[in-house]
Amino acid sequence: MPKLSVKDVDVSNRKVLVRVDFNVPTEEKDGRVSITDDTRIRETLPTIQDLLGRKASVILMAHFGRPKGAPVPKYSLKPVAERLAELLEAPVQFSPETIGEIAEQRVKSLQPGEVLLLENVRFHNDEEANAPAFAKALARLGDVYVNDAFGAAHRAHASTAGVADHVTVAATGLLMEKELKYLQGELASPAKPFVVILGGSKVSDKIGVIKALMEKADTFLIGGAMAYTFYRALGIPTGNSRVEKDKVDLAHEILALAKEKGVKFMLPVDNIETQEIKAGTTTARNTQRLTTERGIADGYEAVDIGRETIELYRKEIAGAQTILWNGPVGIFEIPDFATGTVSLARALAESDATTIIGGGDSVTAVKQAGLADRMTFISTGGGASLELLEGKVLPGVAALHDQD
């Protein structure tokens, strides 16, 4: 059942309480907190502007950092209110309280077409505990609840889920809809061939995704540290590469499942390997084809996919109609080991396929490569996107009201 959309709610002259994801990366210098990447704030603008245009009073709530249930000045949302005002080119009022008398007064005097941001919901323990009294106090601040915080939708907290039980209208925001459209709708019956690129540090993080997508994908392109747990399962030497020993059986199982389903499950045929994880240590062993006899050398650790693998993967990408990418294929934080990740990002940018990027580090990698605007869709949620891809129900979505 599709969820009620904010688009279908009459919001004019009503107080609309919107949960947004303002959990932005910051930097502290000389006691001043500055925002280093305002993507998440920008992504909420369509919903906020739509509401303002329809003469709603917009009350925003969000979490920021991990203040552990008490007010911590460096986790105040005040700097976010300032940045939002710049982006909206309109004043943004701020309530130093999340709930309570001051918050209620500010809400009361808020006019149609005006915006108010409440202080960090996580200044209250009751937020993460999803305490009904706190959820109720939040609900009192609005006539309509809208959840646009996709990045927090995998958490059943008071502001993301509990609050919906205490309002008469609970709808999805525009960003939430876009995330669900791509990560759920588009991937429910993807245009084929459907290629899934999976990397990152651990197989264990991605098992759910592999299993869920095994039903739909034509090809998996595996990279990152997880590749070497599969090597181990195949008896290929892994040197000092990261291997999750307790997941080797599972790797076996996945390989067998792929075979059974006729899914192409590709592992790197060559790798960049190094004795030390730092720049300038790349060895010359990087273009030799791996065989079962000759895997990663003793004393060496695989840190990126090799040149031949990049070529093989690029061919698969070029032939795809839908591509989902989660997890960098090497330690991309170190430029020497970013070649694989950047090359695949380029291949995606050049492809005509629908390209969907999910996962915090994969998104960072694509942005670093300067290719973000060449992708069809980039998710704002790391954990939430993984859970959705695993086929899980997100509590923050489930709590919203169904469409009539």
The set of catalytic residues is: 40, 202, 360, 383
Classify residue 149 by burial, with Cβ atoms within 10 Å: 0-12, 13-18, 19+.
buried
Taking phi over 0 as left and psi of -120 to 50 as alpha, with beta for the rest, 13 belongs to: left
Q: Give the three-class secondary structure for 219.
A: strand
Phi, psi for residue 87 in degrees, rounded to 5: -70, -40
Residue 244 binding partner per list ligand ADP, Mg ion, none, with a CB distance cut-off of 5 to 8 Å that depends on partner kind: none
Residue 224 binds to Mg ion (criterion: CB under 5 A): no
Q: What character string, x for contact with Mg ion (CB under 5 A) and - otherwise, covers 351-370?
A: ---------xx---------
Q: For ligand ADP, which stretch binds (CB under 6 A), given 32-40, 50-58, 90-98, 324-332?
A: 324-332
Residue 200 binds to ligand ADP (criterion: CB under 6 A): yes
Residue with Cβ nearer ligand ADP (33 or 334)? 334
Residue with Cβ nearer ligand ADP (69 or 383)? 383
Residue 327 binds to Mg ion (criterion: CB under 5 A): no
Q: Report the run of H or E that residue 367 belongs to, with start and end.
A: helix 360-368
Binds ligand ADP by CB under 6 A, chosen from 47, 159, 238, 362: 362
Residue 242 binding partner per list Mg ion, ligand ADP, none, with a CB distance cut-off of 5 to 8 Å that depends on partner kind: ligand ADP
131: Cβ contacts below 8 Å, ≥ 6 apart: 125, 158, 162
**Binding to ligand ADP, residues 121-150 (CB under 6 A):** none
Binds ligand ADP by CB under 6 A, chosen from 151, 173, 295, 382: 382
Least separation in angstroms between residue 136's CB and ligand ADP is 35
Residue 328 binds to ligand ADP (criterion: CB under 6 A): yes
**Binding to ligand ADP, residues 213-272 (CB under 6 A):** 224-225, 242
Tell me the torsion sign for CA atoms 134, 135, 136, 139.
positive
Q: Give the three-class secondary structure for 202.
A: coil
Q: Catalogue the E-assigned strands of 275-344.
A: 301-305, 322-326
Residue 243 binding partner per list ligand ADP, Mg ion, none, with a CB distance cut-off of 5 to 8 Å that depends on partner kind: none
In angstroms, the CA 143 to CA 42 distance is 25
Angstrom distances, CA of residue 5 to CA of 170, 177, 182, 202, 232: 9, 8, 16, 36, 47
Least separation in angstroms between residue 356's CB and ligand ADP is 12
Closest to 110 measured CA to CA, from 60, 145, 66, 159: 60
Size of residue set near Mg ion by CB under 5 A: 2
Which residues here bind Mg ion, judged by CB under 5 A?
360-361
